[in-house]
Amino acid sequence: MTDLDALLAELPAQRAYRTLGVSGREDTLSAMFLPFGMDKARRVSNVQGKYALLYLLRGSGDYTGPDGERAPLEPGSVLHRFKGDRFTLDRRRDGQWLEFALVLPDIFVEALCALGTLSPGTRVQVPGVSPLLIEQCRRLVRQLGAAPGHELGRVLADAHALLVSLAEASRERARPAPHAVIVRKARRLLEQHPELRFDIPETIAGLGIGYERFRKLFKLHVGYAPKEYRLRQRINAAQRLLGEGNLSVKEVAARLGYPEVAGFSKQFRQYTGVSPSGFRRISG
């Protein structure tokens, strides 16, 4: 377990709500860490009633926005859902989903849009997951729950600071890195043919970089070592096949190149927390 994994494992399911008197009416400010349990709806389609930020810390899925734009969600993705947005959120059923959510008062959102901190034209950002950003989220939840009423303005200032930090981290990650092209090519190679077992150092030999250097760069950019990433691609493929329901567990294992069902089931449970047959039941 990495230091980041340990930090995420320590995050409790926390919710902090406060009611503010804003511009002659009551409004809501809330911040929370939300895990996604296997018993909850995988797909959510809704019309957003207020501005809400979703910062994905663990897990994966897909987002479809109000104009039909689609975006894959991975750890480090941020969604800005504005009031009136029609959206669909499709979470993967792997038991890994953990998000930080922030709901802001309407008048505050209007001010942030006027300042340029928020923009309906930018609904998806990818700042990545870092201990610094996580700590900003934790502090916001703690302060919102404990601050007396006359200090809620300071909490709003901290919410503004978090939004700025997420935007800056996203812009920084978007700048081309010297080895970004190599990592993108390697990801495409590792995502191909999940049914085949191949030697990863041999596969990336044509990228013009030594394997140890490549391994460190890949983990820095992607968050997983190449071998771990490859295994996750195979498990994702297994989830898709099991969800379709046309193949037995034994047939899925064979389709993905596992010589034995027992080995496939053990690895599947290790990454998803449930057996292949259990996953099929809850995803059906």
Whole-number Cα distances in Å, 157 to 29, 104, 144, 166: 12, 12, 11, 14
> Element (H or E) spanning 17, and its range?
strand 15-22
Dihedral sign of CA atoms 106, 112, 89, 225 in order: negative
Structure tokens at 109: 């959102």
Q: Please, which pLDDT band fits residue 41 given cuts at 50, 70 and 90?
A: low
Structure token pair of residue 51: 């501005």
pLDDT of residue 22: 59
Between 75 and 14, name the one with better pLDDT.
Answer: 75
- Picking from 234, 235, 229, the residue whose alpha carbon sits closest to that of residue 93 is 235
Question: What are the backbone dihedrals phi and psi of residue 118, each rounded to the nearest 5 degrees, phi first?
Answer: -115, 150
According to DSSP, the β-strands at 61-64 and 98-103 are unpaired
Edge-to-edge strands of the sheet including 70-73? 43-47, 86-91, 61-64, 70-73
pLDDT tier at 52, thresholds 50, 70, 90: very high
Categorize the per-residue pLDDT at 173 as very low, low, confident or very high, splitting at 50, 70 and 90.
confident
> At residue 274, does pLDDT exceed 70?
yes
Average pLDDT, the chain: 87
- The pLDDT > 70 percentage for the chain reads 94
Compute CA distances 197 → 43, 120, 256, 265, whole Å.
32, 44, 9, 17
Give the chain's length. 284
Most confident residue range from 82-86, 222-226, 232-236, 268-272: 82-86
- Find the helix or strand (DSSP H, E) in which 99 lies: strand 98-103
Tell whether the model's pLDDT for residue 89 goes beyond 80: yes
Tell me if domain 3-173 and domain 180-283 are identical in fold. Answer: no
Model pTM score? 0.62
Cα gap 133→130, rounded to integer Å:
5
User: In the chain, where are the structural domains located?
Assistant: 3-173, 180-283
CATH H-level, domain 3-173: superfamily: Regulatory protein AraC (2.60.120.280)
Summarize pLDDT for 177-235 with one digit per residue, the tens.
667 888 888 988 888 888 888 788 888 888 888 899 899 888 888 888 899 889 988 89
- C-alpha angle with apex 249: 246 to 253, nearest 5 degrees? 105
Mean pLDDT of 129-135: 91
* 274 secondary structure, DSSP code: S
Q: Supply the DSSP string of 161-201, one letter for each residue.
A: HHHHHHHHHHHHHHSPPTTHHHHHHHHHHHHS-TT----HH
Identify the weakest region by mean pLDDT among 9-18, 43-52, 61-70: 9-18
At the second CATH level, the architecture of 180-283 is Orthogonal Bundle (1.10)
